[in-house]
Amino acid sequence: MMNTSITLILISLILLATPLVHSIDQDPIAIQQWFTNLPTMTPKLTHLHFYLHDLVNGSNPTVFRVAQSNITSTSPTAFGFIAMADDLLTTGPEPNSTVMGRAQGIYGSACLDESDLLMTMNLVFTGADYNGSTLSLLGRNAVFHTYREMPIVGGSGVFRMARGVATAKSYDFNLTSGNAVVEYNVMVQHYD
C-alpha cells in the first residue's frame, strides 16, 4: 500500500512538472486521418516573430564550417564554404530572451559576386504553443541586403502542409567574429 501511494505521488509530480503543450499526433494512422479531413479544414494564417542567434565564434559557437572549395580562401564572397548550424531562436534579440526553438540546417556561399547564402533550415519550435512542430525554410539569403525574403516550403506538427514567407533583417552583425543576430518575421499558412 505504501509503495502504491509513493508511486502515485511520484507519477502525479512528474505529470505536473511536464509542460502542457499544443501538439499534433504524428503516428501514421493519425496522419492518414488528418489528410482525410483536409478538404474540410480551413487554412489559418500565423505570424511568427523571433531572433536567430548565429554564433560562429566565442565560447559556445552554434555554426561550424564543414566544407569549402579550393577557391573559398581567395574568394571575396567566401564562395563554396558550407556550414552546419544549430542556432538559438528567441523572442528578443538578447541571448537570454525566452527560447522559442532552434534553427537547424545548412548554409553555404553560393554566389561569386555577392555575399549570398543558399539556406536550408528547419525551424524547430520548443515553446508551448508549437512544441515539436517545424517549418522548413529553403532559399537565397543575400546577407548584406536590408531585408531578405525566403520561402517556407513545408512544415510538420501544427505546421503540417505549411507554406509562406520568412523575412530576415540583420539586427546585429560583427564582421570580425562573424556572429550575427537576425530578426525574422514569418507569415505562414497552414491548417489547424
3-class secondary structure, 155: strand
Complete DSSP assignment for 23-67: ----SHHHHHHHHHHGGGPPEEEEEEEEEEEE-SSSSS--EEEEE
Residues in the chain: 192
Residue 83 forms part of a structural domain? yes
Rg (CA), the chain: 20
Residue 163 forms part of a structural domain? yes
Dihedral (Cα; 74, 176, 92, 44), 10-degree rounding:
-10
Q: Which three cell numbers stand for residue 122?
A: 528547419
Residue 40 forms part of a structural domain? yes
For the chain, the distance separating the N- and C-terminal CA atoms, rounded to the nearest angstrom, is 45
Residue 124 forms part of a structural domain? yes
Residue 6 forms part of a structural domain? no
CB-CB neighbours of 70 under 10 Å: 8
CATH of the domain at 39: 2.40.480.10
Residue 159 forms part of a structural domain? yes
The pLDDT of residue 3 is 60
Residue 162: give the domain boundaries: 25-191
Residue 13 forms part of a structural domain? no
Question: How many domains, the chain?
Answer: 1
Ordered per-residue pLDDT tens for the chain, 192 residues: 556 655 555 455 444 444 444 456 778 998 899 899 999 999 999 999 999 999 999 889 999 999 999 999 999 999 999 999 999 999 999 989 999 999 999 999 999 999 999 999 999 999 888 999 999 999 999 999 999 999 999 999 999 999 999 999 999 999 899 899 999 999 999 997
Residue 51 forms part of a structural domain? yes
CB-based contact 24:192 (threshold 8 Å) = no
